[in-house]
Amino acid sequence: MSFKNIIGQAIAVRSLKNLIAQDQVRGSYLFLGPDGVGKRTTSIEFAKVINCERGTEDPCNTCVSCVKVNSANHPDVFTIYPEGASYSIKIEKIRDIIYQASLKPYEAGKRVFIINDTEEMTEEAQNALLKLLEEPPRNHILILTASNTAGLLPTVLSRCKVLKFYSLGQDQIQEFLQGGDIEEEEAILFSHMALGSLGRAIDFKEKGIIALREQVVNDFFFRKSALFREKVLTEHIDGEIAESLYMLLCWYRDLLVSKFTDAQRNLLNIDKASEIASYAGRFSKEKLEKDLLNIMKTIAYLRRNMNPKIALFNMAVQLKRA
């Protein structure tokens, strides 16, 4: 990897390159933008290039420092993620960072702390981090990544230089996918379904998520009368329920979209364009809006640990209702 391989984030990459060129790399940064658009990759490339022994504009990927970062073995590059059942970054993790920052870098370069998904950091942890964010010791850089600022304290935000990352274009994702070993037809479908997130498109490719679409659309859209059978509910609970509901959401979203436009490029389920156009005609706009809302509510209930069988059953009843 190098900066050259980061797609669609020219503004952020240019800002970072300028900072490096002007020897202005210091303090704390927040990489802000949707999931799966390159924030983590960019943070690693940045850590690599500011420690690269060649000192070129792009990391060389061959010096000892670059090789260590690439294999996640660099003693001065720390990567932190939310963890545990609560999927959060707790104060203990931040205390570790503060302790590490009190030591001199092990190697000659800059010490980089990459704290991912900081919107999941507890308030206590954020408060503990403030002093370090405000004024990291010499040669210490903090990079926070977040998909939104809702969970971040204003005092955290105000201490970081914010670099914005943006959703990618469908064509950019398609082009990237086709650079790998993937059929054109799949690249087109995945790039539409990914809603601007390359990470999401790669998940489609690697995890076979599209197969879930066939099942969930069949069970909850076509065969609604079968819903009250135990088997259908149980199958979805055993399967990947969050992904399934996301697929169902995309399906209903497309039905609604196709009531407003004939342009196929606006669809996510691009491979089912003619089916979607014909089914959309059978439902009113109001009904489709209500259905979308129901699916979104179900997703929210399940996140809050509502019993999945009850949540799916209720959703099915609502979808069936005229």
Contacts to Zn ion by CB under 5 A: 52, 60, 63, 66
Contact between 59 and 66 (Cβ < 8 Å): yes
CB of 96 to Zn ion, least distance (A): 27
Minimum Å gap between C-beta 28 and Zn ion is 24
Q: Which is nearer to Zn ion, 66 or 295 (CB)?
A: 66
User: Of 47 and 209, which has the nearer Cβ to Zn ion?
Assistant: 47
Q: Cα separation of 72 and 163, whole Å?
A: 24
Q: What tokens appear for 198 in the block?
A: 């390359």
User: What backbone torsions phi and psi does residue 297 show, to the nearest 5 degrees?
Assistant: -60, -40
> E strands along 116-209, which residues?
140-146, 161-164
**Angle at alpha carbon of residue 70, lines to 64 and 76, rounded to 5°:** 70
Question: What is the closest distance, in whole angstroms, from the C-beta atom of residue 313 to Zn ion in the complex?
Answer: 56
Say how far apart CA 294 and CA 169 lie, in whole Å.
Answer: 29
Q: How far is the CB of 47 from Zn ion (least distance, A)?
A: 11
Can you tell me the distance from the alpha carbon of 2 to that of 302, in angstroms, rounded to the nearest whole number? 39
| Of residues 61 and 266, the one with the C-beta less far from Zn ion | 61
Residue 64 vs 310, nearer CB to Zn ion: 64
Nearer to Zn ion, 45 or 291 (CB): 45
Both tokens of 44, joined, read 């690693």
For residue 108, with 0-12 CB atoms within 10 Å meaning exposed, 13-18 middle and 19 or more buried, which class applies? Answer: exposed
Q: Is 2 exposed, middle or buried (0-12, 13-18, 19+ CB in 10 A)?
A: middle
Of 24 and 56, CB closest to Zn ion = 56
We find the least distance from the C-beta atom of residue 25 to Zn ion, in angstroms, to be 16
CB 17, min distance to Zn ion, A = 16
